[in-house]
Structure 1
Amino acid sequence: MTAEQSQNTPSKKQQKPGAIIWHDGDVPYSPHFGDVYYNPKDGLAETRYVFLDGNNLPDAWQTVENFTIGETGFGTGLNFLAAWQCWDNDPNRSHRLHFVSVEKFPLSRDEIIRAHQSWPELADYSIQLADVWPHETMLPGVHRFSLADGAITLTLLIGDAIECWSEYAGNIDCWFLDGFAPSRNPDMWHASLFQALARASAPSGASLATFTAARIARDGLESAGFEISKRKGFGYKRDMITATLPASTQLTDEPRKFTLTDAPWFNLPKAGNVKSVAIIGGGLAGASCAEALKKRGCSTTIFEKADQLANAASGNPVGMLEPYLTADNAIMGRFYEAGYRFSHRKIKRLADTGQVDAAFCGVIDLATSARKRGRLDGLIARLADKSDIAEPLTAQQASKRFGLPLSFGGVFYPSAGWVNPPSLVRALSTGIETRLSTSIKSILETQDGNILTDDDDKQYGPFDAVIVAGAYESRLLEQTRWLSDHLCPVRGQISYIPENVIAEPGDGATISCVLSHKGYIAPARNGVHIFGATFERGDEKTDVREGDHALNIAQLARALPDVAAKLKPAVLEGRASLRTTTTDHLPLIGPAPNFERYLAAYHDIDKGKKGARYIGAPCHKGVYICTGFGARGLIATPIAAEILASEICDMPLPLEQTLLHAIHPARFLVRGLKRRQVTA
């Protein structure tokens, strides 16, 4: 660093931990760690020498279906771009490349773009990365990106490296052990990190390379089971480390294990060579699963009992695309945060290409009660410096944003908006074989796969896998009948207001964004405002009722009394449909447990025995569940599909283990057994 740079560099105390300054033009430097992000003279050559050559790439990924690289510090993404370019230029490459990396302090989109200016040969890859990189702050958690038409997946774990890798269930084939040097960031180079890397490695073994030969790295890797070798370092560095983790001694037919907790009842079935998948249900969940599997090369068939797709709740003309954010780090909030960011990226790209009818006009979450005000205050306290995600509004500011007078303040979500769900279902199901007016009554598990039978006794299949993605009817199949105690139908009726009721021609009044209160009202689409909705548990009928219009008007009156006063239930039109919720308000996403075998295998788990004493999760072979989204289908079904497609095709998972446990269908059985509410 020059004397001039030293004088202009803020002290460590003056800088936020993730802040950077620029050296020598476009070289990012971290004052917090006192180091540059890469070799300023030839960072790309060092990446190729240390991480690609050190892991025997490209040879290591040749002749395999999937290859997964794990990394401990994403930084500018230089290693990712170099690996992508190497893979792209290799005619014998794997079919897909997965890159899973951790970053505690992610750079902004503009910073990522600037950091890549030094490498014009990577420009094509950098442009594609910048295209999917979020414009807003990246919150802690797992962020999944799809590139190169799905051939490349980038999974970013935002947070502390040790915590993130300890919570992530991986099958990593090779490791890029990168990050700021041990002398600059000793907290990362800890024994628990190396143990986490070993646990996340593929059962067939893994390779590893790192730029350092520091003793803390050598000792830590050896203690975790890696076999260490030294290699000449890059440039002026004398040595660097390469390592291998021997293949696991576990049997090859063992299920894919979670390692965060001693909980074999949540282990995933061993993935097979899945080529054909049947999906029961043609709503958002089913269409999302079909699209995610199609991208992975699977042949999919949707079976829908109605005469059209998006017939139930997915058929509403407008749905809110609103984040579900919480003031704490609770499981539900973390899951729906991950779901929203994944859905938003997918839907935005489809809308930008004209495939989906949507508007990202923002959503105002109105504080219409003291309880709601307290929740939003807690949220703002958590996201105080992240107005690009959630911006606090006074009543006056909210009125200006909305376009009509409001008596309450709240929070504005600038990236949110509304979506026409049927157009999303159509976009996701394009090119998918679809069988309408086909009600499936049974799944027969055979040696050759699963065979479906409809109400007319016509059979289909065999299929390598089946996803049950219906709504309340999901409980009717033999494999899922036990769900009857955990699924609840919820009737919801929306109401329509002609646009001219709110805005008379020439008066300038208009609704410019979605308003979320106890209900919601959206800007006009095709001359009509949608508002609602009722929420009646246990009611399975879908007739449109004048009384429900009255309830919607009464709900709207709290936020927009002048508008509500103009409305009469008897003249309103609307639509009613069923949502399906679960008893703990989280969806069911994962393999279908074999009820009887679960009870037999885990009948005494209330005794506190260690999980190692039990067998892996006994599930119905090739049968998966995807249901229970309630009113949050828009922000949950795309990530649910990504989870299931990753489980079925044995690819890196888009969520951490804690959340995967929380949505696993077997959770209800496990809780019941532990509480002695279910007995064999």
Structure 2
Amino acid sequence: MLDWARLEWRNGQPFAVDYGDGYFGSSDPRAEVREVFIEANALAARFRQCRRFVLAETGFGSGLNLLLALETWRREAPPGAFLSMLSLEAHPLSPEDLAAIHARLGLDGVDAQRLRSQYPPPVAGLHRIEFPEARAALTLALGDAAPLLSGIQGQVDAWFLDGFAPRNNPALWNTGVFRQVARLSAPGATFGTYTAAGQVRRDLEGVGFEVQRVPGHGRKRERLQGVLHTRPQDAPPAPAIPERVAVVGAGLAGLAAAHALRARGVAVDVFDPAGIAGGASGNPAAVLLPNLHPQDPELNQLALAGMRRTASLVGQLEAATGQAIRLAAGVAFHGISAHGRKRVQRLQKAGPARAGLLFDPAGPGCASAPHLFYPDALALDMRALCEALAAELAPVQREAVQGIQAVPDGPLRLEGVSGGAEYDAVVLAMAAGGDRPLCPEETAIATVDGQMTRVQAPLPDWGGFVATGQGYCIPKADGRAWIGATYRHTDARAAATTAETIAEDDRANLRHLAWVPGLEDASAVTILESWAGTRAVVRDRLPLVGASRMDPDARVLLSLAHGSRGLLYAPLAGEWLADHLLGLIEPLDVHSRARLDPMRAAVQPAGSSAEA
């Protein structure tokens, strides 16, 4: 957990106590930003000519630089273009101080409001902030610049090198940082900076930039700007940008990927013979809940990123479609089993700072067992979420893809579908248990059946939040609730799927939830309906996200095995896939993303048990 920056106001200007420097270099911050950063990088003209652009800065501060860049983007960029932004900050302003500076600068437009409403907690790592009205996204990286940059992937077109004076902030102005800046830079990347320090100029030239001294802003005599003329040897090659992508699967994983690609200006076709949410994604009620570990910061970083992405996406979709997706807000996880109690107690002992500040130690529960309360966790209507994701996509093509023809240096073609369309990339996000594997990674996947039960019960009003522990209960105000879910290996259930099997799963749900107030006496509960679906899982219960080994050119990507906590990871996976394909700033660092790499599961046997 990071400390908030220490801010003082001196002569009406914000001053950073820890750096002995002001947040702005002149009395006219807006004019300074336009000259030193926006005009130095020729952004207006470049925005007019692009379909996608990546802008990065060292030193987020108040966000003024990026907000003015967004203003320019809105004015100049062509329809359908997408802006990906990256900003680094070691000492973030508190939300209160950020709001105070914005008020001082008159920053209260929709983009500034979006920034403040999505401002992350002071947790080191990458945090995504969405600006849907501007067709833009910001990855705000909190922590020390050099190690953060070393884990970031993407190709930057223009840099704002902004930070406190080099003599006061050497951790930002050094060759270690500049080497990473050069590694991340696309061919011809430019930069602008307020400083004219000789060492900064020499260091930038040393990593491949051609540097110019130009007249400074205001009282500043000189400043620097330049262009990358020599890319370092470890810089990744510029990606072949896909213009048309096929997505196989119209469940949550596939639709999330298609939605992210379309938002970035890519033409997308979605294929699924079962239509929208025809498999487990048709779940009428599911829980968005983080999966935390007191000694696994990478897993916790994934959980925080997944929670933020899904919540942001749900808010955007509800506003855009007018469709209700949220069923309840707030989730209490109770330690009912011995394993559950141990998990809760270990997280309580570690404290919320070790877990992304995702749980509130003083939050409410509905049972006497030790519990964790997640105020930002949600219960969602999965089918409604999928339908909202598909609302702006082309109609799902209800055809079964039988295979993929991958021609070296040529397009990809789908077997078994009409039309003969050619694609630059394919995303496989199929439902569990397909008749014919489309990729070798499917051999690592096991399938399990889960059943939910809708009940009428004498439930007391414990505050409307979701109760989880051994099973979960999503209450409604009228005494009705969805409870669940069972967990059966598919082969065992398929051997004898009868009315009695379904009834037994309903009874199992009630047994597992007997700790919930109002469900103690099964005879007082009326079963209203049941819903069952088949889910795909691998041994470590994390999805398979990344390139398939079936295509050496890495044009076939996977978003599979979301059967455990799909709401937490599938929207994040879709966003990562879109950014990865397009060379934009990715929302996960290389260490967190490695936890989802399909190759990690290649040697793991299918059929191992997963946590219910």
Interval containing the TM-score (normalised by the shorter chain): 0.7 to 0.9
The structure-2 alpha-carbon separation of the partners of 1:450 and 1:238, relative to structure 1 and needing over 3 Å to count, comes to same
1:288 and 2:256 correspond: yes
1:153 aligns to what? 137
Tell me which of 562, 568, 585 is aligned to 1:629: 562
Residues 596-615 of structure 1 correspond to what in structure 2 (within 5 A)?
Answer: none
1:590 aligns to what? 546
The structure-2 alpha-carbon separation of the partners of 1:645 and 1:541, relative to structure 1 and needing over 3 Å to count, comes to farther
2:211 aligns to what? 228
Counterparts of 1:591 and 1:32 in 2: how far apart (Å)? Answer: 44
2:502 aligns to what? 545
How much does 1:387 deviate? 10
Residues 16-55 of structure 1 correspond to what in structure 2 (within 5 A)?
Answer: 16-25=3-12, 27-39=13-25, 41-55=27-41
Larger displacement relative to structure 2 (333-342 or 380-389): 380-389
Counterparts of 2:563 and 2:258 in 1: how far apart (Å)? Answer: 20
2:447 aligns to what? 489
2:240 aligns to what? 271
1:443-468, Cα deviation, whole Å (9 max, x unpaired): 233576333233xx745422333221
Counterparts of 1:510 and 1:419 in 2: how far apart (Å)? Answer: 19
Residues 266-665 of structure 1 correspond to what in structure 2 (within 5 A)?
Answer: 270-274=239-243, 276-306=244-274, 308-352=275-319, 354-369=322-337, 371-380=339-348, 381-384=350-353, 389-393=358-362, 398-399=364-365, 402=366, 406-435=367-396, 437-445=398-406, 449-454=411-416, 458=418, 460-473=420-433, 476-478=436-438, 480=439, 482-498=440-456, 501-503=457-459, 509=461, 512-524=464-476, 528-539=480-491, 541=493, 543=497, 545-557=502-514, 559-560=515-516, 563-567=519-523, 573-594=529-550, 618-619=552-553, 622-665=555-598
1:186 and 2:175 correspond: no
1:245 aligns to what? 228
Counterparts of 1:185 and 1:163 in 2: how far apart (Å)? Answer: 16
Is contact 1:356–1:427 with CA below 8 Å preserved after alignment?
A: no
How much does 1:476 deviate? 2.9
1:104-160, Cα deviation, whole Å (9 max, x unpaired): 23334443332122334x5435544346524x6253222223325362221211222
Is contact 2:446–2:536 with CA below 8 Å preserved after alignment?
A: yes
Counterparts of 1:185 and 1:234 in 2: how far apart (Å)? Answer: 21
Is contact 2:127–2:139 with CA below 8 Å preserved after alignment?
A: yes
Counterparts of 2:519 and 2:525 in 1: how far apart (Å)? Answer: 13
Counterparts of 1:359 and 1:538 in 2: how far apart (Å)? Answer: 29
1:112 aligns to what? 98
* SS at 1:79 equivalent: helix
Counterparts of 2:273 and 2:523 in 1: how far apart (Å)? Answer: 36
How much does 1:249 deviate? 8.1
Which 4+ residue blocks in structure 1 deviate beyond 6 angstroms? 91-94, 385-388
How much does 1:301 deviate? 2.4
Amino acid at match of 1:487: I
Q: Which runs of 5+ in 2 are unaligned?
A: 605-612
How much does 1:76 deviate? 0.4
Amino acid at match of 1:101: S
Counterparts of 1:387 and 1:652 in 2: how far apart (Å)? Answer: 22
1:168-214, Cα deviation, whole Å (9 max, x unpaired): 01211121111122222222223211111111111x13222222223
Counterparts of 2:520 and 2:235 in 1: how far apart (Å)? Answer: 52
Is contact 1:212–1:241 with CA below 8 Å preserved after alignment?
A: yes
RMSD (Å), alpha carbons? 3.2
Counterparts of 2:410 and 2:553 in 1: how far apart (Å)? Answer: 17
How much does 1:475 deviate? 8.4
Counterparts of 2:11 and 2:390 in 1: how far apart (Å)? Answer: 49
The structure-2 alpha-carbon separation of the partners of 1:378 and 1:187, relative to structure 1 and needing over 3 Å to count, comes to farther
1:580-600, Cα deviation, whole Å (9 max, x unpaired): 1123322112222227xxxxx
Is contact 1:227–1:244 with CA below 8 Å preserved after alignment?
A: yes
1:57-94, Cα deviation, whole Å (9 max, x unpaired): 33344423222111111110011012222333337799
Is contact 2:209–2:230 with CA below 8 Å preserved after alignment?
A: no
Question: In percent, how many aligned pairs have the same letter?
Answer: 30
In the superposition, the TM-score normalised over structure 1's length comes to: 0.80
* SS at 1:364 equivalent: strand
The structure-2 alpha-carbon separation of the partners of 1:465 and 1:311, relative to structure 1 and needing over 3 Å to count, comes to same
The structure-2 alpha-carbon separation of the partners of 1:67 and 1:590, relative to structure 1 and needing over 3 Å to count, comes to same
How much does 1:644 deviate? 1.4
Counterparts of 1:88 and 1:357 in 2: how far apart (Å)? Answer: 29
The structure-2 alpha-carbon separation of the partners of 1:475 and 1:623, relative to structure 1 and needing over 3 Å to count, comes to farther
Q: Which runs of 5+ in 1 are unaligned?
A: 1-14, 251-256, 260-266, 596-617, 673-680
* SS at 2:402 equivalent: strand
